[in-house]
Every structure is written in C-alpha cells, then in structure tokens.
Amino acid sequence: MPPLDLTHIRQHHTVAELIAIGKARRSVTSFDQLGTFVPVKRDAAAYLKHVREMLVPELLPLRRERMSASAFAFFRGSVELMDYDLDYQHSTEIPAVVCGDAHLGNFGFYASPERRLVFDLNDFDEAGVHPWEWDLRRLLVSIILAARNNDFKPKKVEKLVREASASYREGIKRMFDQTTLNRFYRDNEVQAVLNFGGEPEDTANFIADLVKKASKRNSEQVVRKFTWTNSQGERQFKDNAPRSVHVNKKTYRNLKRGIKQYLQTVRTDVALLLSQYEVTDIIRHSVGVGSFGSLCYLVLLTSTDGSHMVLQIKEALPTRKVGSQSRPELTAALELTEGQRIVSSQRILQSTSDVFLGYFQMADKSFYVRQFRDMKESIDIATLDWGQFKAYANTCAMILAQAHAQSPTAAMIRGYVGSSDKFDEAMEQWATAYVSQVEDDYQTFLELV
C-alpha cells in the first residue's frame, strides 16, 4: 500500500453527480444520527501507555506536565483516544484527505515561497484518508474546550459551535462556486483570510500585531535565539536539558546521511540551494504538546558565505490510530513510509507549503524535514477576548473546508451538508456530548499522573 492511498477518493463523476450522491447519503446517515454520540468502551489508560512507549523516556515528565495543564491541553496530546472513538460513530462514509488533528491550536501563520504571510493548517502528523467529518468533529470539540478555558459563557459557546459548523458549510459552498483549478489556486494570504466574515476592527488590529511579530521570525532571528559563538568562533546550538541536548556522534552521522537522502525529495532548485550549505551542528529539541516526546532535531546549516539557516527534523510516527492497535510489528513496518505520508498530505491540504519540506528514513524510523520557524507564528488562544475567539474559530472552520475541498470527493461533502442549519445543530450536539468524554478521560489521566 502506498504511504498515502488516494484510491478511494478518485472520482469519475461530474460535480453535479457527486453533489447529488452526497445529498442522497442523508437517507443512509441522517443529521440526527451524525449528531448522536455513541459511547465507546475502552481502556483509556492502556492506550495512553502504549503511545508513551513510543516516545523519548526522559521527555515524558515534561509531556505529562504539559498535558496536565487543562482538559484542552490533554485533548491536544491524546488524539489516539478520539481516533479510536470515531471508528464507532455514525459516519457519512465520504472519504477525503484529512488533517487528522484539526483542533484550534493546529492553525497558524507561516511564510509562502514568495515570502508572503499565509494562515493555514500547520500540523499533519495524523493526516490521511478518512471520513471528512472526523476533522470537523475534532475542531468543534476543541472550540468548546478552549472556550471553557477562557471562561466564556456556555450559551454563547453553544451558539459559536453551530456558527463554526455553518462557516465550514459556507467554505465548502464557496469552493464549489469556483472552478476546479481555482479551488486548487486558493489564496490563504493573511489579508484574504481577514476578508472572510469581515472581522471587527479590534480583531484586525490584533492580527496585524501577530503579522508584525511573525515577519520578524526569520533565519537570522532563529540563529540569534538558539545558538551562540564558542571560543573557536563557531556557531553552535545552546543546550537546555532535557528539552534541548546535543546528539551523540553516531546519531550525528546518521542524521547527516539522512539529510543526503532528504535532498532527493525536494525540488531541484531547493536541492541546488542547499548544496551551498554544510551541516555544522545538530541538537535534539522537542516542541509542541501532541508531538512532545517524539524525536525532533534542529540542524544548523552554514553557507559558503558564512550565513546560517536552521532545518527541523521530526520523527514521523505512524498515526495514533495505528498505534492504538497495540501491534508493534505493524507500527514498525508502517513507519518506514510515514514521512512521505505526512509531506504528501501537507502539500495537498495547505494552500502553499514550505519549499524545504521533505523526508528520509534512518534505520527503522521515518522523518520529515522543514525550515524551522520561518515567519511561523501561532495565536495564543488563552489570551483572546470573545470577539477575537469567535472570529478565530470561524476562520479555522473556513480554512478546514478549503483544505477538504482539494479531495475529488469534496462535492459529495457539499451535497451532504447542504444549506440547512439542522446539520450545524447536529454537529454541536455531538461535540458537546463528546466534551464530557474528554473530561472523563482527562480525570483518568490526572489519576495516572
């Protein structure tokens, strides 16, 4: 099987036919069914333990600390539980390339190859071909959890979840008001995103401040922050154990070999550019919440002119869905192609992607590579006021719809969701019910800690 099996989403029907097929799916899976949460019997502690066994042991205490902060933080770090539960829910059975972890924290700003700032999905570790509603369910649940963190009123949050679902529907509709090629050439440049829904002035000013901050996060800023000059006048990374530590000689050699393999997966012009750099330092550096504890490295590259840039190498673990099956032999076999799966999914789902995106294998592990922090910025959801939070949630829902619209099956989604707010009510009902499951799992986790 290829790393990203697109067989099930290739179509030979017209858009009009696919819309009709999607609409007909309502007679198989009604909105009421889609909105009914089906409780699942499982051992949350066992699944969480299995995932921990795949991670770096010395980083587990920090990971536990991050996940313990709130139910939302726990939700971000335990996607395997929701993945398991989704298999038992009523489904439209309409497949698409999905993010797999489309919560509010996995959207952000980054630079396009043309050096324009865009806003889009930014995490694809769990990406693959699954029913499209899995992403929307996860997004809506995250809205409720994040809103509770911010102490927003429950009735307002309930209404917002329905609005976000409607924004997703509107996003799908807008995409199919365009031609196939124009859907592909969608523009997620920041100003185009801001124009969606006409955000209030205070939100526009808030975004403008983030844009200014992101614009300053370039290679020079990264080098200044993460490196120092030693007594020999050489740049090297700063250690900050256990989060940031230099690798041993064997790992250093293996990663250098991996980078040579990686160069075969990028465009020719990018490979030629990188031929002017050499690896001068490598450090293990963990980031995030969900992926914190997996192998992650920073590579310092020094050019022939003495300038520097930093690449990030992240271990491409099998999706948590695979890991939750407790079959280590299957997990190990699949990991060999996981980097390619993640990179392929990212290129499909994003409006534009990092030109340095690529992948390689090292022994029995797979990795993907990207430029580190190049104009990247995320929104601190906990600092948002109600107006900003509402605009952000609706924008993320619209962006998700645009990403899903890249799949040939997306017209079926358009047909299924239609124009009725009954769909939004059903999705809000399911999300609210599932939040109770997350909170129960969170309490189980706290007891384990």
Domain residues for the domain of 329 are: 219-335+350-371
pLDDT > 90 fraction of the chain, expressed in percent and rounded: 67
| In a shared domain, residues 157 and 18 | yes
* Mean pLDDT in residue range 245-269: 96
Rounded Cα–Cα distance for residues 427 and 144 (Å) = 12
Residue 20 lies in a domain: yes
Residue 420 lies in a domain: yes
pLDDT tens digits for 238-253? 988 888 899 999 999 9
Structure tokens at 223: 């080098």
Task: Give the model's pLDDT for residue 215.
Answer: 72
In this prediction, residue 321 has a pLDDT band, given cuts at 50, 70 and 90, of low
Task: Give the model's pLDDT for residue 168.
Answer: 98
| In a shared domain, residues 54 and 174 | yes
In this prediction, residue 322 has a pLDDT band, given cuts at 50, 70 and 90, of very low
**Global pTM?**
0.92
In this prediction, residue 198 has a pLDDT band, given cuts at 50, 70 and 90, of low
Residue 28 lies in a domain: yes
| In a shared domain, residues 253 and 192 | no
| In a shared domain, residues 200 and 76 | yes
Residue 341 lies in a domain: no
Buried b (16+ CB within 10 A) or exposed e, 101-117: bbbbbbbbbbbbeeeeb
Task: Give the model's pLDDT for residue 318.
Answer: 78
* Mean pLDDT in residue range 426-434: 99
Task: Give the model's pLDDT for residue 3.
Answer: 66
Residues contacting residue 206 through CB under 8 Å, at least 6 positions apart: 388
- The count of structural domains within the chain is 2
Phi-psi region of 191 (alpha: psi -120 to 50; beta: other; left: phi over 0): alpha
Residue 1 lies in a domain: no
Residue 108 lies in a domain: yes
Task: Give the model's pLDDT for residue 79.
Answer: 93
| In a shared domain, residues 12 and 141 | yes
| In a shared domain, residues 127 and 37 | yes
| In a shared domain, residues 99 and 201 | yes
| In a shared domain, residues 195 and 228 | no
Task: Give the model's pLDDT for residue 202.
Answer: 56
Task: Give the model's pLDDT for residue 56.
Answer: 81
| In a shared domain, residues 399 and 436 | yes
In this prediction, residue 333 has a pLDDT band, given cuts at 50, 70 and 90, of very low
| In a shared domain, residues 33 and 176 | yes
| In a shared domain, residues 92 and 166 | yes
Residue 2 lies in a domain: no
| In a shared domain, residues 131 and 196 | yes
Residue 223 lies in a domain: yes
Rounded Cα–Cα distance for residues 379 and 103 (Å) = 13
Backbone angles phi, psi at 75, to 5 degrees: -55, -40
Cβ neighbours, 10 Å, residue 448: 12
* Mean pLDDT in residue range 428-444: 97
Task: Give the model's pLDDT for residue 2.
Answer: 59
Q: 31-35, 234-238, 310-314: which range is least confident on average?
A: 234-238
In this prediction, residue 264 has a pLDDT band, given cuts at 50, 70 and 90, of very high
Rounded Cα–Cα distance for residues 445 and 439 (Å) = 10
pLDDT tens digits for 51-104? 887 778 888 888 889 999 999 999 999 999 999 999 999 999 999 999 999 999
Task: Give the model's pLDDT for residue 116.
Answer: 86
